[in-house]
Each structure stands twice: as structure tokens, then as C-alpha cells.
Amino acid sequence: MVLAIDRRSHTTKFEHLIDTGVNSGPERAYLVAVDATSADSVWSVEDSLNELGALARTAGAEVVGTMRQRLTHPESATYLGKGRVQELVDIEKQLNCDLIIFDDELSPTQQRNLEKILNARVIDRTALILDIFAQHARSREGILQVELAQMEYRLPRLSGQDVEFTRQAGGSRGATGGVGGAIGVRGPGETKLEIDRRRIRSRISELKEDIEDVRKQRAIHRRQRAAQAMPVIAVVGYTNAGKSTLFNTLTEAGVLAENMLFATLDPVTRHIVLPNHQEILLTDTVGFIHKLPTKLIAAFRATLEEVVEADMLLEVVDISHENAIEQSETVTEILEELEAADKPRVTALNKIDLVDDPDDVDTSLYPNAVPVSALKNQGLDALLETIARVLAESMEEVDILIPYRKGDLVELFHRRGNILKEEHLEDGVHIVGRIHRTLRGYFLSYSIAE
Ligand SMILES: Nc1nc2c(ncn2[C@@H]2O[C@H](COP(=O)(O)OP(=O)(O)OP(=O)(O)O)[C@@H](O)[C@H]2O)c(=O)[nH]1
Ligand SMILES: [Mg+2]
């Protein structure tokens, strides 16, 4: 996957350059990680490497081997220690590797040094994730956000020479094509470097402006939805947890759900009715992953605002995954970064059909957890009831007297609120009940409580 800019029209497109394997087989990738004793991650290096392998396969590569080194922290010059880098030179020859993928974001210096020593292409976890995002971006919003993230990633990594933005589709697997190929650029050439930097910077500002327009559009849509006065629930969770499958089952929408990482990039919103007849809006959105680059989160701000602005979160956890707990911790960390971790949350412990002994699942580890199978349609009534209950808990109590001429407001309360007491008095209908904060404004002026 390579980014190409048509300078005349200033439109951006992604060209698919990953070898599909029809002619010469998929690209052969070797994975490398440092097991840093200083890291405070809940993830083990094995699990992190397994996930890197899944990312590599999603991007279209074949994993031919892995290496890890235990260090206090990655070496600043070459990520791995000297001896291990030499070992890597032999391995890449033996295994005939096309690319070496590092499990952490490499600094520009590390990347340049490694590229000098190794023959295969050097890419890192961030470049790989960006590559998958680029493959899956469909909407204008998604494409703009991915391009911004790619440009931000590229800028500090430019080292002159060849920043020809456009490459030929279907090119060979030379030093620059294939998985993550658009990202690494090397060579001397000060003047050219300056020009390239300026060009990228100006593209970054253009993209930011375009994304700002997208953000404003989204804000308008949100305001329109707010006028419908339905609470918005954002479906969040680790990539591949089953968010889109659950979303489809609950809403009968035809969102793409696939066994691949980052199948969904664009948020979709649909309306559903809870068992207590309360109407809500459900939003499916992009998945999270550990070591998700902050720049990428920043670039996806327009999309992620759907999560930030939601009234409640429905977290989907793949409870059949051996790293379910680590994944959920990562989701919470990213929600904290987005300042959305304090919202009321219900957890769907999904893929329960794949768990040998569902009774052994410890639901107490997750907030308001309900075991479900989105695919087999199990546990969904209980899930909806829990959503209704948690939503009710986040409602505010009101004591109001609505005049008889405002019959529509009484009806609205009946549909969307929880009535604790209702009596028909001379001046109107007296209601004591709970209503979601998005609707409170309609009733405030009829309040009779202190
Ligand atoms: N067995 C089983 N598989 C499921 C269940 N729910 C989802 N899956 C499968 O899990 C895979 C991922 O599902 P998606 O719904 O695309 O997951 P997602 O969380 O939307 O993933 P991204 O959009 O990539 O972040 C698909 O192959 C689904 O068929 C379930 O309840 N049981
Ligand atoms: Mg999805």
C-alpha cells in the first residue's frame, strides 16, 4: 500500500502494492521485538509478537520467523543490541526475507541505521498499522485521516533523495514497494530534503483543514441527533472483538464484519429500541490496539469524537481471546487518553460460544458485564436490559408539573423516561421520574421541586 498524490488535482489516493501472492507468493516477513524490562505494559512480549504477526498477515505478508531480545530498554542506535543485529543479517539471508518488522515504533535514527545494515526493508508496528488503515479506508473522512497520520509519520523520517510521492502500482518489491513501503525514505541531499519537508508540511496543513471541515460536519450531525433527544451509545473495544457483528445483530445494519484487524474505520450510527421501550442511538466505530500511536489517535480525532461525545459506552471484549484482560486494559487506557473512560459502561463479553466452560468466565472483572455471542445471537436480551438499567442509573430525577396543553411533553416522558409517580391534578400532570440528561432541558421549566 502506497500513498500517491496527484499534484495537479491535489487529490489523494492509495495504491495497492502488496503482492497478493499470485506471481511470487506473499512478502516474507520476519518479526523482531525487545522484551524491555523497563516497560510497564500488561502485555507479554510473546503476546505482542503474536499480535504483530496477525497485523502482518492482515497487511498481506507471510510471517517466516520471530526474534526477541531481553534488554532494559531498546538500544537507541539500532533497537536491538549489536550482536543480535548481526544475527539478523544472517537470518534474513537464510530465510530470504523481504521485510523485517519491529514491534515498537523505531526512531528515525534507528530506522536509518538498521536500513544501512539490513538488506530487507525495515518497517515498524506503526507503519504496519498505517498500512492496514490505508488498505481499509473507504470514506473521504477515513482516507484524509489515514493520509494525515502517514504524513506526520513520514515527516521526521525524511532524509532527502527520492520523495517522489507517486509510485507505480504493481512495482517490484525493491527497496520501497510492498507492505509499509511508502513510509521509509533514505539518502542524502539537503536541498531536496528541504523541498520535500516543505511539501509534506503544506500537505499536512491542507489535510488538517479538510479534516476540520469533516469534524464540523460531524458536529452538525451530532446536534441534529441531539435534537432527536436519544441517548447515544458508542460501541468500543479491541480490534476484531466483534463490535461490528454485535452492531449488525442489534441494528440489522449491514456493516462489514470480518476476521481481520481494523475492518471498520468509519463510524456508523443506527437507532434501536430497548426492552423498556426507550429509544437509543448506537454507533459502531474503529477498534483499538496496544501501542496505538498517539499521532494516529490524534489524526482520527474526527472519528473518535463519536466516542468522546457519547452518553454511554458499550465495550465489546472477545472473551475467548487469551489476552481478553490485556485487551480490555488497553481499551481503558486509550479511553483515558480520550478522556472518555469515566462514562457509564456496559461490557459485552462476546464470543461466549467459543468458550469451553462459560460458567468459568469471571464477569466481575469488567463493568456491568454480560456474556453474549453476537454471532449466535445469545445473551442479547440480557445485554439490552443491562444497557437500559445502566442508562436509567445515569438518568436524573425530576419532579414536574406539565400543563395539559403540553400533552406532547407528557407523551415524550412516557416514551423516554422512567415514571416513579404520576397524578392528574387541576393544573396539569404531576410526574416524578427519571429522565436522561439529554432530555432534561425540555422539562426544567416545569420543575416544582426546590
Ligand atoms: N465465534 C464467534 N465469532 C464472532 C462473534 N462475534 C464476532 N465474531 C467474529 O469475529 C470476527 C471479527 O468480527 P468484527 O465484528 O468484524 O469485529 P470488530 O470488533 O468490528 O473488528 P474491527 O472493526 O476490525 O476492529 C469476525 O470473523 C466475526 O465473525 C461471536 O459471538 N462468536
Ligand atoms: Mg468493526
Same-domain check for residues 306 and 173: no
Q: Which residue has the cell 525495515?
A: 122
Residues contacting residue 389 through CB under 8 Å, at least 6 positions apart: 368
The tens digit of pLDDT for each residue in 317-338 reads 999 999 999 999 999 999 999 9
Same-domain check for residues 382 and 441: no
Same-domain check for residues 82 and 213: yes
Instruction: State the cell numbers at 238.
Output: 479491541
Same-domain check for residues 385 and 276: yes
Task: Name the residue of 129, 132, 245, 354 to mutate for ligand 1: max ligand atoms within 8 A of Cβ.
Answer: 245
Question: What whole-number percentage of the chain has pLDDT above 90?
Answer: 58
The 10 Å Cβ neighbour count of residue 147 is: 26
Same-domain check for residues 34 and 100: yes
262 lines ligand 1 (CB under 6 A): yes
Same-domain check for residues 112 and 186: yes
Domain residue limits at 296: 230-392
Same-domain check for residues 119 and 193: yes
Judge whether residue 123 has pLDDT over 50: yes
Same-domain check for residues 142 and 63: yes
Annotation-wise, does 250 bind a ligand?
no
Question: What whole-number percentage of the chain has pLDDT above 70?
Answer: 86
Domain count, the chain: 3
Residues contacting residue 11 through CB under 8 Å, at least 6 positions apart: none
The tens digit of pLDDT for each residue in 57-77 reads 999 999 999 999 999 989 999
Whose C-alpha lies nearest to ligand 1, atom 7?
Answer: 242
Q: How far apart are CA 286 and CA 22, in angstroms?
A: 30
Q: 59 CA distance to ligand 2 centroid (A)?
A: 16
Dihedral, 126, 129, 134, 139 alpha carbons, nearest 10? -110
Same-domain check for residues 330 and 417: no
Query: Complex ipTM, two decimals?
Result: 0.99
Q: 246 CA distance to ligand 2 centroid (A)?
A: 9
Ligand (nearest to CA of 268): 2
Same-domain check for residues 69 and 200: yes
375 lines ligand 1 (CB under 6 A): yes
Q: 394 CA distance to ligand 1 centroid (A)?
A: 29
Same-domain check for residues 242 and 191: no
Please state which of the ranges 78-87, 357-366, 407-416 shows the lowest mean pLDDT: 407-416
**Mean of the pLDDT values across residues 421-440?**
89
- Cross-strand bridge partners of residue 235: 284, 314
261 lines ligand 1 (CB under 6 A): yes
Q: 239 CA distance to ligand 2 centroid (A)?
A: 7
Same-domain check for residues 383 and 411: no
The tens digit of pLDDT for each residue in 368-397 reads 999 999 999 999 999 999 999 998 888 889
